[in-house]
Amino acid sequence: MSDQLILTPNIDTPDDFYADLLAAHEGLDKAQSDALNARLVLVLANHIGDRAVLSQALRAAALKEQQS
């Protein structure tokens, strides 16, 4: 497994994924959606595991340029 965060397109059929993501929030109020998102971040972070990659992801999400 690479220790480099992937920032190029990496999801098969991205429209299907995005539709699934919105569907997961269907019918939830804002607080419930926020909680779902928090759980989702933690689940995905655990799947990634690699601390170096997670650190890069935190910086990327903050919209700070990646150090290469």
Partner 1 sequence: MNKIFEIPLYPYTHSPDQDASIPVRRKVVVIGAGPIGLGAAIDLAQQGVEVVILDDNDKVSFGSRAICFAKRPLEILDRLGCGQPMVDKGVEWDVGKVFFDNREVYSFNLQPETGHRRPAFINLQQYYFEEYLVDRVRELQAQGAPIEIRGRNKVEAIGTHDDHVTLEVETPEGAYTLEADWLIAADGANSPTRRMLGLDFVGRVFEDNFLIADVIMEANFPTERWFWFDPPFNRGQSALLHKQPDNVWRIDLQLGWDIDKEREKRPENVIPRLRDMLGDKVEFELEWVSIYTFQCRRMEKFRHGRVLFAGDAAHQVSPFGARGANSGLQDTDNLCWKLGMVMAGKAPETLLDSYDVERIHGADENIMNSTRSTDFITPKSETSRIFRDAVLDLSEQYDFARPLVNSGRLSVPCTYDGSPLNSADALDGPSRTRPGSPCPDAPLGDDFLLSRLGGRFTLLTIDADAPDSFEEDGVEVTRLALSVRDDPTLELKRRYLGDCDSAVYLIRPDQHVAARRPGFDETHFRTALRRALGKE
Cβ nearer to partner 1, comparing 28 with 52: 28
Binding mask 4-43 for partner 1 (x = CB under 8 A): --xxxxxx--xx--xx-xx--x--x-x--xx--x------
Written in H, E and C, the secondary structure of 21-60 is: HHHHHCCCCHHHHHHHHHHHHHHHHHHHCCHHHHHHHHHH
Q: List residues near partner 1 by CB under 8 A.
A: 6-11, 14-15, 18-19, 21-22, 25, 28, 30, 33-34, 37, 60-61, 63, 65
